[in-house]
Structure 1
Amino acid sequence: WIKYVTKASFRESEWDELLAVSLYGFHNAGWAGHWEDPPAWRLTGSDKKYNPLVKVAQGLHPETGKPITWSRKPVPWVLALMEDPVDIGGGWYLLPPIRPPPGLPPEITQKLFWMDQVHRAEVQLAEQRARDERERASSEQQGWWYDVLKPESTEGDFPS
């Protein structure tokens, strides 16, 4: 089974202006074809020019040979041009690797470490204060209820 895409070789709009208008901006996503004969040609890898394409056709990165993970959405061509792409043929371009973000200077890293330590200590102190306040309020409420419910005299309805 072979897939091939039909492509119009329409170079002059004056040839047929109505057809030119209808083809403007057309992106062909259709394909057709059935090939039962032996392959007419192959990319063997002997032509160094096409080696990257052979790897891409196998789903491998053209330089590293690692499997390609197609995770990014297509980007506008103008944005791809900003990355200085390398043409590897067949409409495929190799973009430079994405560099990791630069590291922070040691003094900033140390400052962030100490800020984190101070924050942790403040959180622990706030938690302890909240526990202490909760206990104080609880004992205060118990005392208040005792004062409300305690008998005025020994002859009350409450047992002593």
Structure 2
Amino acid sequence: MPTSPTGISNNTRGFTLIELSIVVFLLALFAAMTFPMMTGVGQNDLDASARRLAGTVKYLFNEAALDGREYRLVFDLGQSTYKAQRLETDGTLTEADRFGKETRLKGDARFQDILITGMGGRSSGEVTARIFPVGWMEETIIHLQDDKKRTLTLRIRPFTAETEVHEGYLEF
């Protein structure tokens, strides 16, 4: 053990300038990687709403094929919400098990309009898209928008219920 001239052992150790520089560099690197993710939080609400809606459509499409019943996706354009319903064998509509509860789009995302083949487009009120047990649903175009006027177009394919998500307002 090194001792000082006074005979007391000097057992204190510190960080070197190189070690401190490496720690500061790593902290700066992590901050630089994290900051861009934090600035796009509002933009991610629109993307997250599109992904969740696409997942709901695919789930309901598969459920309709599995249990042989018609499902409906009901959009409330004014409230920016949607819910799933199942058509029972006696003709009544009930909440679908997993997605029957009303779901609100995330953050400032909202429905701009919805177009369903054969029914035209609507920008207010309620719109219902039907999903049939024979493996088909009405082709549906959904336009989502946020407060920054960023728009996404969701196109739901009728025979597969695959949802294409496109940047901007597109008409097919």
TM range (shorter): under 0.3
TM-score, normalization: structure 2? 0.26
Query: Which protein is richer in strand relative to its size?
Result: 2
Query: Which protein is richer in helix relative to its size?
Result: 1
TM-score, normalization: structure 1? 0.27
